[in-house]
Amino acid sequence: MSHGFKGGAHPDEMKHLTSQKPIEKLPAPELVILPMSMHIGAPCQPLVAVGDHVYLGQKIAEAQAPVSAPVHATISGTVKAIAPMEHALGTKVMSVVIENDYQDELDPSIAPIDYSAMTAEEMIACIKEAGIVGHGGAAFPTHIKLSSALGKVDTVIINGAECEPFLTSDHRILLEHPEEVVEGVKIILRILNLKNAVIGIEMNKENTFERINSLLPVDGSIKLVPMAVKYPQGAEKQLIKTITGREVPSGKLPADAGCAVFNTDTAASIYRLFTTGMPMHRRIVTVSGPDMAVPKNLEVRIGTPVKDLIAFCGGFIEPPTKLLMGGPMMGTSLYSDEVPIIKGTNGILAFAEAEPIHISDPRCIRCGRCVADCPMQLVPTYIYRAAMAGRMEECASFNPLDCIECGVCSFVCPAKVPLTQGIRVAKQKIIAANRK
């Protein structure tokens, strides 16, 4: 078992709420809201007009820039509106709203893709056309990752860490559909012309190991590496360190350390694309949290409003104080349940604590926990102190731009200093100053 990176924390896992629950299909909703931006990169341009009929899987928005990903209809029906709609990020984003005709009429062009004679570039183009982005949360377009890795990396890493508390969507995929993941890895290896992939899975998902091992090719090209349960094991840089011992150089990309990292469900999506022709149109979402009546793992059409998932899980136990998209360490806090599930949504969590710990006048006691536990080996308390005092030059000398905003410093701080939050602001100030 690999322990890997320095630092890290052990928040209560809370995965027992859903780890034993098989993935259920959420019935397709009455309406889907498909934002033109649900990935890292440029927003898309709609290809349809209000009133148009669309098929399930039909491309409805085109990527206008290289770093972007097209959007597909996730139900069949009629385009009801193309308008700015509320988005998880807290702003309104141009979105295509489709009304369901409940026919799930498949786009006639969708068919399995025979890639036996395809070049790597052609296969990457298929992935780009299918709108596949990283399923882990950040939603980086997968075709960019693949093309920038082409000829540059020697190791493919599949991220099965799922280190955020509560989330079990990857766990259930590895348990219920390991063959999709393994076949997806084989396709990735074929694209990159490599014979070396590692599936890294935290020990809390040990019940997936036997099945996965039995599916791995005998030539040893894909290996399973059990990893210690430690947050943020699934952060890209920490994962690469754990699996390969390499450090991604400061300010560089995983490819600069010879690695390309894909989420488990991203690999499965690639497999499904080539075997069925289906573009990215659904994903697995863990709906959980202490305030969720019946926590579940759901297979959801992208664009489904969050409130539909909540209703399917029995609603809230009491009015929530926090509604999160993603995990509790790095997720986004929602202000509305009308926002849609997007391509990177791995969880919807509800909390109803009286008041999340908040101290009006937090005083650092210099215990050094943030320093000892920072997985990037930074000194969070000094970054924070300098930033709060407006000493931005001193602040920059503590390397805040290397911060991955994993939240460990704020989590471990006994004085409840909002370190991550402060560092996030400092980073934005420094980036803005550097632009000038």
Partner 1 sequence: MNDLSKLKVSSSPHIRSEDTTSRIMLDVIIALMPALAIGIFVYGLRALTVTAVSAIGCVFFEWAYNHFSHKSQSISDLSAVVTGILLAYCLPVSTPLWTVLLGDLFAIIIVKQLFGGIGKNFVNPALAARAFLLASFAGIVSVYPKIRTALPLFTTPVDIVTTATPLSQMKEGILPDISVFNNALGMVGGSIGEISSFALIAGGIYLIYRKVISARIPLAFIGTVAVVTFIFPQGNNNLQWMLSQLVSGGLMLGAIFMATDYTTSPITINGQIVYGIGCGLITILIRYFGTYPEGVSYAILVMNLFIGLIEKVTMPRKFGAPKKERKGGAKVEK
Distance CA 204, CA 367 (A): 30
Site for partner 1 contains 271 (CB under 8 A): no
Supply the minimum distance, in Å, between the C-beta of residue 7 and partner 1. Answer: 9
Candidates 112, 195, 335, 389; binder of partner 1 (CB under 8 A) is 335
Binders of partner 1 among residues 356 to 415 (CB under 8 A) are: 356-357, 360-361, 363-368, 371-372, 375-379, 381, 392-393, 395-402, 405, 407-408, 410-415
Site for partner 1 contains 324 (CB under 8 A): yes
Identify the burial level of 218 via C-beta atoms within 10 angstroms of its C-beta, where 0-12 means exposed, 13-18 middle and 19 or more buried: exposed
Interaction mask 83-122, partner 1, x per CB under 8 A: -------x--------------------------------
Supply the minimum distance, in Å, between the C-beta of residue 421 and partner 1. Answer: 5
Candidates 213, 389, 416, 428; binder of partner 1 (CB under 8 A) is 416
Short-list 258, 205, 214, 257, CA closest to 234: 205
Candidates 22, 112, 217, 315; binder of partner 1 (CB under 8 A) is 315
Evaluate the CA torsion angle 110, 111, 112, 116 in order and state its sign. Answer: negative
Comparison of 114 and 318: residue with beta carbon closer to partner 1:
318
What residue has token string 């027992």? 16
- The stretches of 216-350 forming alpha helices (DSSP H) are 236-244, 264-276, 306-312
Binders of partner 1 among residues 139 to 178 (CB under 8 A) are: 165
Comparison of 31 and 126: residue with beta carbon closer to partner 1:
31
Q: What is the CA radius of gyration of the chain?
A: 21
Site for partner 1 contains 262 (CB under 8 A): no
Supply the minimum distance, in Å, between the C-beta of residue 384 and partner 1. Answer: 12
Q: How many residues at the interface with partner 1, by CB under 8 A?
A: 82
Binders of partner 1 among residues 222 to 261 (CB under 8 A) are: 237, 241, 247-252
Candidates 109, 336, 389, 428; binder of partner 1 (CB under 8 A) is 336
Q: DSSP for 257-273?
A: GTEEEEEHHHHHHHHHH
Distance CA 151, CA 207 (A): 35
Q: DSSP for 149-215?
A: HTTT-SEEEEEE---STT--HHHHHHHH-HHHHHHHHHHHHHHHT-S-EEEEEEGGGGGGHHHHHHH
Written as one letter, the residue type at 220 is: G
Comparison of 224 and 248: residue with beta carbon closer to partner 1:
248
